[in-house]
Amino acid sequence: MIIANENFGKLASSYLFSEIGKRVNEFKNENPDAKIIRMGIGDVTLPLPKACIEAMHKAVDEMGSASTFRGYGPERGYDFLIRKICDYDYRRHGIKIDTDEVFISDGAKSDTGNITDILGHDCIVAVTDPVYPVYVDTNIMAGRKEGIVYLPCTAENNFVPELPVGDVDVIYLCFPNNPTGTTLTHDQLKKFVDYAIEHKSLILFDAAYEAFISSEDVPHSIYEISGAKSVAIEFRSYSKTAGFTGTRCSYTVVPKECIGYGLDGKEYSFNELWNRRQCTKFNGTPYIVQRAAEAIYSESGREQVRQIIDYYKTNATIIRNALISKGYTGVYGGVDSPYVWVKTPEGTDSWGFFDYLLKEKAIVSTPGAGFGSSGEGYIRLTAFNTTENTVEAMNRI
Ligand code: PLP
């Protein structure tokens, strides 16, 4: 008999985006002339920066010549990219990250999911609610459904999760947050780092939206907090930064002083475990893609990325300001993030407001309830669209 991983049977159905698709298709069939504006998806709309395209063309040519062809690359990533990361993303912000603490990958989704490979089976895991579903589902797949603790993030606590009650072993934090678009200040994040140091827990810090931060007091990296290197792993992605959602490149920082413990108290270096995990199950991100990512750090690349981020941030500001001026009282995020989290009007739930926006305004949103029970009563709107569409959508509301 073939024994299947029964934990998969404990997953909630991935109903959110299929249900959105179904309702949008029904609306389209009934209203074939409606100009639908999609503000639900978390995918970028602008093309790759020119600097990345040029770097990729050059790398493709290298692959076509025996003298410059590359086969298997280093599993952890090419040095040319890792050095740029250590320098531009960390050293210039006063943080020392060694090259052997950076692991290039094909996406923060893969890494935030695969990281469960290096966690003990009996870990108690805390996640925020609402939450990026990957953290929850990958832990359920690994048999930890009963070991997940939810930290609500609502308007009442200003979307700042309370510290876990008692001991938890692992805490997933994503800031700027998907879906709420909200952030933590240095002091708020420091409380989590101090908790992790005291409780010997591990923080998995997802900074996929770091590029959108412009507020002074919002940390770009968890390593800005003193002591964080001993308790935190950080995930970064080029997906939203530079339009790499289809090109696929990201990286994970696992500091050498970040230590986990066996049930007998024996110490394990998470850097060594992750290195072993990656070298065993992953053969590296394509050379061509890593050259594209490297180009982001060139002078022209940095400028082009800045323009892309500014474009989306302008859209987010348009959404925020329009909703506030139209009398919506609960409008959150959208300042250091491409996501705006909107309280549904009195008497409407997430799906009710989703249906209203779709049927009356031909606007697609994402119902907050799809991200967890604390997301009920909210919808998420995204800035990943043209400014023209964003303005038109706001005029329709
Ligand atoms: N982490 C968060 C919080 C996200 O919202 C996303 C994508 O939407 C990802 C990670 C995935 O990033 P990547 O495209 O690098 O896999």
**Residue nearest atom 12 in ligand 1 by C-alpha distance:** 108
16, 153, 234, 237: residue to mutate for ligand 1 pocket, most atoms within 8 A of CB: 237
Beta pairing partners, 250: 105, 237
299 CB burial (10 A radius; 0-12, 13-18, 19+)? exposed
Q: What is the secondary structure of 259-293 as a DSSP string?
A: EEE-TT--EEEHHHHHHHHHHHH-----HHHHHHH
Give the contacts of 129 (CB within 8 A, at least 6 positions apart).
150, 151, 152, 153, 371, 372, 373, 374, 375
**Nearest atom in ligand 1 to 177's CA:** 3
Comparing CA positions, the residue from 206, 273, 196 lying closest to residue 233 is 206
Interval between CA 42 and ligand 1 midpoint (Å): 9
pTM over 0.85, yes/no: yes
The rounded Cα 337 to chain-centroid distance in angstroms is: 11
**Nearest atom in ligand 1 to 174's CA:** 3
Looking at residue 13, what is its pLDDT?
82
Looking at residue 145, what is its pLDDT?
94
**Residue nearest atom 1 in ligand 1 by C-alpha distance:** 208
Looking at residue 393, what is its pLDDT?
97
Distance CA 103, CA 111 (A): 10
Does the N-terminal peptide bond of residue 176 adopt cis geometry, omega within 30 degrees of 0?
Answer: yes
Distance CA 309, CA 315 (A): 10
Looking at residue 119, what is its pLDDT?
97
Count the helices and strands in the chain (H runs, E runs).
Answer: 12, 15
Give the contacts of 267 (CB within 8 A, at least 6 positions apart).
259, 260, 261
Looking at residue 42, what is its pLDDT?
83
Q: Looking at the predicted structure, is the pLDDT value of residue 41 above 90? A: no
The rounded Cα 68 to chain-centroid distance in angstroms is: 35
Mean pLDDT score of the chain: 96
**Residue nearest atom 8 in ligand 1 by C-alpha distance:** 42
Looking at residue 386, what is its pLDDT?
96
Q: Beta strand pairing status for 339-343 and 378-382?
A: antiparallel
**Nearest atom in ligand 1 to 245's CA:** 14
Interval between CA 264 and ligand 1 midpoint (Å): 35
Q: Looking at the predicted structure, is the pLDDT value of residue 358 above 90? A: yes
Q: Looking at the predicted structure, is the pLDDT value of residue 243 above 80? A: yes
Distance CA 237, CA 256 (A): 21
CB 109 within 8 A of CB 82: no
Distance CA 52, CA 335 (A): 27
Q: Looking at the predicted structure, is the pLDDT value of residue 1 above 90? A: no
DSSP single-letter state for residue 220: S
Q: Beta strand pairing status for 267-269 and 331-333?
A: unpaired
Strands ordered across the beta sheet of 148-152: 102-105, 250-253, 232-237, 202-206, 170-174, 125-129, 148-152
Which pLDDT tens digit goes with each residue over 59-116? 999 999 999 999 999 999 999 999 999 999 999 999 999 999 999 999 999 999 999 9
Comparing CA positions, the residue from 212, 160, 189 lying closest to residue 339 is 212
Looking at residue 272, what is its pLDDT?
98
Looking at residue 369, what is its pLDDT?
96
Beta pairing partners, 206: 174, 235
Interval between CA 55 and ligand 1 midpoint (Å): 24
Lining residues, ligand 1, CB within 6 Å = 42, 107-109, 112, 132, 174, 178, 206, 208, 237, 239, 245, 250
Task: At 276, give phi and psi (nearest 5°).
Answer: -65, -40
Interval between CA 252 and ligand 1 midpoint (Å): 12
The rounded Cα 244 to chain-centroid distance in angstroms is: 13
Interval between CA 388 and ligand 1 midpoint (Å): 26
Looking at residue 17, what is its pLDDT?
87
The rounded Cα 251 to chain-centroid distance in angstroms is: 12
Which pLDDT tens digit goes with each residue over 4-25? 999 999 998 877 888 999 999 9
To the nearest whole percent, how much of the chain has pLDDT over 70?
A: 100
Interval between CA 64 and ligand 1 midpoint (Å): 32
Sign for the CA dihedral angle at 346, 347, 353, 355 comes to negative
List Cα–Cα distances, 322 to 326, 386, 397, in angstroms: 6, 16, 9
45, 106, 109: residue to mutate for ligand 1 pocket, most atoms within 8 A of CB: 109
Interval between CA 265 and ligand 1 midpoint (Å): 33
**Residue nearest atom 11 in ligand 1 by C-alpha distance:** 109
Q: Looking at the predicted structure, is the pLDDT value of residue 289 above 90? A: yes
Interval between CA 174 and ligand 1 midpoint (Å): 10
To the nearest whole percent, how much of the chain has pLDDT over 90?
A: 96
**Nearest atom in ligand 1 to 239's CA:** 14
CB 371 within 8 A of CB 179: yes
Distance CA 382, CA 333 (A): 10
Looking at residue 240, what is its pLDDT?
94
Query: Rounded to 10 degrees, what is the CA torsion of 107, 252, 335, 397?
Result: 20
Which pLDDT tens digit goes with each residue over 292-341? 999 999 999 999 999 999 999 999 999 999 999 999 999 999 999 999 99
Which pLDDT tens digit goes with each residue over 181-220? 999 999 999 999 999 999 999 999 999 999 999 999 999 9
Interval between CA 166 and ligand 1 midpoint (Å): 29
Does the N-terminal peptide bond of residue 130 adopt cis geometry, omega within 30 degrees of 0?
Answer: yes
Cα–Cα–Cα angle for 281, 286, 292, rounded to 5 degrees: 140
